[in-house]
Each structure stands twice: as C-alpha cells, then as structure tokens.
Structure 1
C-alpha cells in the first residue's frame, strides 16, 4: 500500500443553479471528504490508496462505498454504523469566487469512529499515512483515532503527512483547534498548510517566518500553499524555495484544490521525485480541479496531468 488515509466523507448536494441556496430547486448528489479526495486522486494517478472511515447503514453510505471502491480505493477497513447516519453537506455558489459550504454532520457515523476501528494491519506496510485537521475536530473519539493512527505509523516506519485543513465551523473553539493542530504538526514528517492557516496558527508574520514556525514545531518538510502564486517549499536546514503555480483562466469551484495538491505531492514523492518537483505536481493538480464543479470530478489521470503540466490540451478530433 502506498498511502493510507483516515477521515470522514459526506454526501454532497451541489445546486445546479448559482446564487443563494434558498433559490436552488435542483441538486446533483456527489461525495466529498478531504481524505477520500486524496485517496481518489492518488488512485487515478496509478497509486495504491486505502481509506479508513465509518459510514451509516443507509443508502448514502451504500452509494458512497460503491463510488469510492469504484475509483480503485481500498475500502476494506470502512465500517458501518446501524445507529448513526452518513453525514451530508451542501455547497452554495453565491457568485464568482464566493463558494460556501454548509455541514450537517453532527453525530454522524464517522464521528463515532474510535481507536478500536484503527487496525495495525491497515497501516503497516504503507509508505505514507495522510491525515488532516478535520478528523480531530469531530470530537474526542476521533482524536483518539488520530492518536492511534499516528502511533501505529511511527511504530511501523510509515511517514506521516498532515494537512491542517482548518474548518473552524466544526471545532469547539479556536483555542482547541490551535492546540491540537500544532500537536499533530509536531508529530508529522511533512505538513501541507495554507498561508491563511499559518496566520491562524501563528499570528501575522512574513512567509519565511511561517515556514520556520512549522519547522520549529517539528516538521521536516513544509509545503505552504500561497494561492495562485503556487507554494513555498522548505526542507529542514535548506533555503526556502518558491514553486510557481499554474495559470487558470476561470475558477469554477475552488473547494478540493488543497486535497488535489496533497495527492499531487504524494504521487510525485512516491515516484521518487524531489520535493520541489512534488510541489510543482501538487500545484498542477490543485489548478486542474478548480476548473470543474465538484471535489473529485476534476481529478486527472496521469496522462491528463502531464499534458496540463506541459502546456498541452486534449482534442478529440486529433
């Protein structure tokens, strides 16, 4: 197994109209969650990915498991809950560059995950464990899930990749979010923050100071996303480098770009490329998905990714 990831995926209802959600009359049903987004992105690029989660014993859970399995992701450690439902959320495309999300995940099946659901054989043998700051926000039982996954990864020589993925709507408080996210950064080998998340964690600083703050907590490698400018790359003891982003003429849906970035970075590292090359692949993945409505619908296969990175385009008439 190349990458194991743990976290909640929800049923997403995306309106077929733009504007305030109150005026939407029809929706498309999709599935989205940071960790499964990354797993699907990796699978489409030819890597082996495993997603660990818990779903309701309901139609949404059935449809989601079938969909993610169909994307080539190993779901053999996904469990079902007869009492708690599969979580749901809605997107709202208010206007260009203003996309909002509304979560209905309280007491969801995934929030009932416990450390007992994390088995050593599910993580042992993987190259990377990918985790995010969303899972611990779901409650104390999910925090125990994170702790056990991290412990098993360290015990089995699996490198830990952490995306803070700050979602303040689901944390009890900003203080708790900062405390726990900093703790997970300290446990991780690679961190993938955004600039806004760095400011939330450390206050207003310049970009180089943000990168150093992540190293000070314990991270060996930092790839900090800086929007359309690309990302900053830093390995402990080396100078910070800027890796440029890819131009996108029109952003359709920015949600999921960070997960695509993570998938691109992990894919490149699995291919044996340098951290700088991994950042470039991550930037390309993030750019590509913003041009398509949906978290995973725009994730490319390897041929499409390389074509985009090389400035090419697909033409069915060729």
Structure 2
C-alpha cells in the first residue's frame, strides 16, 4: 500500500521544439504535467510508495497519462476513466528565460472528480495525504473531493501536506484566498512560494507564518517558504533554518517546486531533521530545472545522494 496519497489533475503537455510564439511553432514534444502526479513521481524515484488518484478521459490521451505515471513506479490503480469528459491538455510557450502555459482543461475528466472517486481503503494504511490549491478550484465537485479526502486523512491519522500552487489563470474573477487559507490551516506540512505567502498571509517569514496559522488551528508543524534561486526558509515549533540554493544550470524551472516538496517529504518519512529535509528538497528542486520537462530531471536515490555529498558523477 502507498505511504503517500495525492489527488489532482494531470494533463497532456505539448512542449514546442523551438523558442518562439506558438503561432510560429510546427513541432511539439508530448509530455505530462500535473503538480500532484509530479510529487508522486518524485517520491517514487526516491524509493517511496506513492499513489495518485484522479479521473482521466477514456481516450488515448488518458491512457498516455496513466502509462507515463505508472511507468515511474507510481500506483495508479485508483484512477478512474471517464467516458463523458476528455483528458485535459496544455501547451507551453517558451522564450529565453520565460515559460508561459495555455490550458485547455474546462469540463475535463479531472474537473468532474467527486468524493465518489475516493475509496477509504486507500487511506487506511497510508501515512500522508498531499494536496494542492489547484484541485479545489477546478470545480465544486473537486472541492468536495478535497475536503472529503481531508476528512478521511483525519479519520485514519494521516499527516497532511499542502502546497497552494496558486494558478491565477484558473481563478478568473474569484478570490480563492479564504479557501486556500482554510486548507493551510488543516495541514501539518505546508509549502508555499514567497509570493504565495505574501498573497495569503501578508508575510513570507516562516516563523511569523507558523505563529499566525497555529493561532487558527494549532495543527501545522512545519512551514517551508520557497524563493526559487534565492533558496528557502523552513520553520517548525522549535527551529528555523535557512536553506541555501543548490547549484544548477537551469533549462526549465517548471516542476522544481514539486520536486522540492517530494524530496522534503521523503526526508520526513525517513525521520530526517528539518535542515536535512530542506537540503534534500533544495537539491532535488535544483536538479529538476536541469532538463526540459516537469519530472524528467527528478533524481533517483543514487543521484540525490551523490549531489548531497558533493560527489562527481563519472560519465565516461
């Protein structure tokens, strides 16, 4: 059975083969993209059992997504195929130093997820539930599924990990900050970017965030504030640590935050201290940026250990 359960949408991602506005692109590479499945892949590569729960269209793209995620060692047995809604699709647009995304996910199969898609048996022996702020803004039924998952996690004693993963393109004219703050308050491990912390709480200092959120519920144990190439901060109720950025040659930054989260949680599952969990996250996040694609650069255990120990890899 899985140690970590995660729930969310994964789309087919079309990545252009050149740096250009999409109107001038006539060649694409096909990949997958989804914050929750990214995290599951990261954990699986590091030797942990992870399960990804979602809906996919009963179409070729849906089979492609399941095959890609399952091939990385993630449990996809609880994925349901929907014959009435399609698999979501997205396109990347790349230029020097910038990546834009265009979503075609309205009325997708994943947006039709509901509490009926969750089986409590999946939660009985798991240790952790990981959620993001993407899934509950896809639809009301997705929101219901997220809160039902939280109820199951509380019933069976799972720790909850949450990353707001704010996606303004999904928000439209709605303000989802109160919803995301409620999810933050029900989480034990909370990850957020510096800009997300400022948007949700008006501060990006982990100790202040911890105090503020703890006053609301007292549930949160650890908060991590990620600041890209500037590193990160982590705080719990007894300690605060500064996490220096790991060296990398950035090719594509998308997926780095999920890699950070997955490696940090791997450290938590392995009983590592706050600083070492953060160091694992920082190194994995840096390595994720060194390839084109969300998860292609995620390290396995051997690669992560070599980078953590500053061991050079012999290529020839």
Q: TM-score, normalised by structure 2?
A: 0.95
CA distance in 1, matches of 2:292, 2:107: 28
The one-character-per-residue Cα deviations of 1:199-227 (angstroms, maximum 9, x if unpaired) are 11123665653454344444221011122
Q: 1:310 to 1:145 in 2, by over 3 A?
A: same
Structure 2 unpaired stretches of 5+: none
CA distance in 2, matches of 1:103, 1:44: 27
CA distance in 2, matches of 1:207, 1:127: 25
Does 1:20 pair with 2:21? yes
* Equivalent in the alignment of 1:60: 61
Structure 1 segments, 4+ long, off by >6 Å, are none
Matches for 1:246-257 after TM superposition, within 5 Å: 246-248=246-248, 250-257=249-256
CA distance in 1, matches of 2:82, 2:180: 28
CA distance in 1, matches of 2:206, 2:300: 32
Q: 1:78 to 1:280 in 2, by over 3 A?
A: same
Contact 2:85 2:109 in 1 (8 A): yes
Q: 1:242 to 1:63 in 2, by over 3 A?
A: same
Shift of 1:113: 0.3
Structure 1 unpaired stretches of 5+: none
Contact 2:257 2:285 in 1 (8 A): yes
Count of residue pairs the alignment pairs up: 313
* Equivalent in the alignment of 1:310: 309
CA distance in 2, matches of 1:276, 1:173: 39
CA distance in 1, matches of 2:207, 2:3: 31
Shift of 1:311: 2.1
Which of 200-209 and 112-121 deviates more? 200-209
CA distance in 1, matches of 2:216, 2:199: 15
**RMSD value, Cα:** 1.5
Q: 1:214 to 1:21 in 2, by over 3 A?
A: farther
* Equivalent in the alignment of 1:291: 290
CA distance in 1, matches of 2:73, 2:25: 33
* Equivalent in the alignment of 1:101: 101
Shift of 1:115: 0.7
Q: 1:244 to 1:180 in 2, by over 3 A?
A: same
Contact 1:137 1:172 in 2 (8 A): no
1:11 aligned counterpart, secondary structure: strand
Matches for 1:1-318 after TM superposition, within 5 Å: 1-96=2-97, 98-175=98-175, 177-203=176-202, 208-218=207-217, 219-236=220-237, 238-248=238-248, 250-317=249-316
Contact 1:10 1:31 in 2 (8 A): yes
CA distance in 2, matches of 1:311, 1:125: 36
Q: 1:204 to 1:235 in 2, by over 3 A?
A: closer
Contact 1:118 1:145 in 2 (8 A): yes
Q: 1:260 to 1:205 in 2, by over 3 A?
A: closer
CA distance in 1, matches of 2:260, 2:156: 26
Contact 2:134 2:166 in 1 (8 A): yes
CA distance in 2, matches of 1:210, 1:21: 40
